[in-house]
Amino acid sequence: MSGADAIAILPFLVLATAAVAALLAIAVRRDHRLSAGLCALGLVLAWAAVPAAATLAPRQVTPLFVIDGYALFYLGLILASALAVALFSYVYFAARHAEPREEYYVLLLTATLGAGAVVASSHFAGFFLGLETLSISLLGLIAYPRRVERPLEAGIKYLILAGVSSAFLLFGIALIYNQFGTMIFAAASPYAGHATPLSTLYWLAGLAMILTGIGFKLSLVPFHLWAPDIYEGAPAPVTAFVAVVSKSAVFALLLRYFLVAGAFRAPSVTLALGIIAVLSIMIGNLLALLQDNVKRILAYSSIAHLGYLLVAFLAGGALAALAVSLYLVAYAITTLGAFGVVALLSQPADERDADRIADYRGLLWTRPALAVAFIVMLLSLAGMPATLGFIAKFFAVTSGVGASLLAPLAALVVGSVIGLYYYLRIIVAMVLPLPTAPPCAAMPALGGAVMAVLLVLLIGFGIYPAPLLAMIRTSAVTLAAAPQASARLATGLRR
């Protein structure tokens, strides 16, 4: 590696250094505030290093990773989301002294490092390395309150799902490598050169297994069965990380692979993804109607929103990159805010989070600022105007119309109507008066500051999305040019 390569991957080096520094700090002195501060500082410095890496983009750093505008955009989103989770986590764990809390932030840093490696991957080995770093760290985060039963159950279920997912991914990668002799995205495809019926068959079989593994990671139907249990059992800030950071990273990788490998040109693949999109939208929304647990409602809502994302994804080309990136930004801000409210309402004396709808009754009268923030987040998830969620859903519909995706579009419209009902259930519970008038409770200053920033971003970009759209268009252009760059790399390696 050259010095320029080191600058290109500087955000990753900062994250790795921060994780090591946090470990050394724990060895010297156990201090929750110090560990949380080192984690937040590492995330801020890594985010500040993104512009330095951008000066050298696009740059291929070994055959495994490509640092381009697309990767850096998603890396910035991941780092900002992880910082919000770290701040919510500090408030959430500050009053919980039952067990050591310092190692939690080391796992948070390594999980973020793995997610960043996923979005920068241009090679199956780099993708799998980043994904396993992310998954193993998430296993510890989900089960971190080891003296509480539900997080342990959620951790075991995540372990099983992660193992099954990795098995499918490895088998699919092996099939593709066996036929093409390379794991570079652009070269490991029948559209990269002279295809034969046998090579196409191997590729389709391998891609089907890879999509199965990714389906488990994204909790798409029919691979979603334990996802609500994991959302319910994990601590609220960890649930936010799982819902936002891990899914954003995997979806960004999926879009890169499909564009670089030309997978959108395979009708059977797009048909299968269209069916998965319709099933995820309808089943996710319908099952959310049956829930009385807010975290389970948000879990099924997440499944439906991943289905909406697939509608934008199936448009293909630069339009898909634009619509998917915009939707993921809106989804990240809104989901972080929603689970942030759950984290801020959770009481340290309880062994569970504030996750029942009954826990939110009268919230507008007891904690009005938090209730208003939650209402705005839910309305954005429903796609109401003046929020970024409306702009994102509009672009998803536009991209679907442009690609003539009739069945997924119909499911998107029907699912959005169904989703409005269960979001309103939570809002109505917050507005209902309590039998007695309790005093208003103050919001923690740190948690309130994070919620305020999320609200400003959500409404600000909802009213004036032009700066965000310009940034996303730039990253989409670099992704559109990625196939040629990857093909040149594959040719050079063969020589």
What was the pLDDT predicted at 98? 62
Number of domains in the chain: 1
Is the model's pLDDT at 495 over the cut of 60?
no
**How buried is 166 (Cβ within 10 angstroms: 0-12 exposed, 13-18 middle, 19+ buried)?**
middle
What was the pLDDT predicted at 432? 86
What was the pLDDT predicted at 482? 55
Which one is predicted more confidently, 98 or 284? 284
What are the C-alpha distances in Å from 249 to residues 241, 242, 439?
A: 11, 10, 42
Residues 304-317 have a mean pLDDT of 88
pLDDT, tens digit (0-9, with 9 covering 90-100), for 165-181: 999 999 999 998 888 88
Instruction: Tell me the pLDDT of the chain averaged across its residues.
Output: 86
Placement of tokens 């969620």 in the chain? 389
Lowest-confidence region among 115-119, 231-235, 366-370, 443-447: 443-447
C-alpha triplet 480, 486, 491: angle, nearest 5°: 145
**How buried is 57 (Cβ within 10 angstroms: 0-12 exposed, 13-18 middle, 19+ buried)?**
middle
Q: Is 262 helix (H, G, I), strand (E, B) or coil?
A: coil
What was the pLDDT predicted at 260? 86
pLDDT, tens digit (0-9, with 9 covering 90-100), for 446-466: 888 999 999 999 999 999 988
Which tokens hold the place of 39? 């984690």
What was the pLDDT predicted at 386? 87
Measure CA 68 to chain center: 19
pLDDT, tens digit (0-9, with 9 covering 90-100), for 295-309: 899 999 999 999 999
What was the pLDDT predicted at 437? 54
Which ranges of 359-405 would DSSP assign to H, the alpha helix? Answer: 363-366, 368-382, 388-402
Cα(238)–Cα(343) distance, rounded to whole angstroms?
10
Which tokens hold the place of 100? 């050591």
Residues 82-102 have a mean pLDDT of 83
Placement of tokens 């409770």 in the chain? 441
**How buried is 465 (Cβ within 10 angstroms: 0-12 exposed, 13-18 middle, 19+ buried)?**
buried
What was the pLDDT predicted at 322? 87
Q: In the 8-state DSSP scheme, what is residue 246?
A: I
pLDDT above 70 covers a percentage of the chain that reads 91
Residues 108-133 have a mean pLDDT of 92
pLDDT band with cut points at 50, 70 and 90 for residue 354? low
What was the pLDDT predicted at 183? 87
Which one is predicted more confidently, 282 or 354? 282
Residues 390-394 have a mean pLDDT of 91
**Residue length of the chain:** 495
What was the pLDDT predicted at 436? 64
Residues paired with residue 88 on neighbouring β-strands, in sequence order: none
Residues paired with residue 53 on neighbouring β-strands, in sequence order: none
pLDDT band with cut points at 50, 70 and 90 for residue 112? very high
With beta carbons less than 8 A apart as the criterion, state whether 471 and 51 touch: no
What was the pLDDT predicted at 350? 54
Is the model's pLDDT at 326 over the cut of 60?
yes
What was the pLDDT predicted at 476? 75
Q: Kindly report the pTM of this predicted structure.
A: 0.91
Range of the domain at 180: 3-494
pLDDT, tens digit (0-9, with 9 covering 90-100), for 186-225: 887 777 666 677 778 888 899 999 999 999 999 898 888 8
Q: How are beta strands 59-61 and 65-67 bridged, if at all?
A: antiparallel
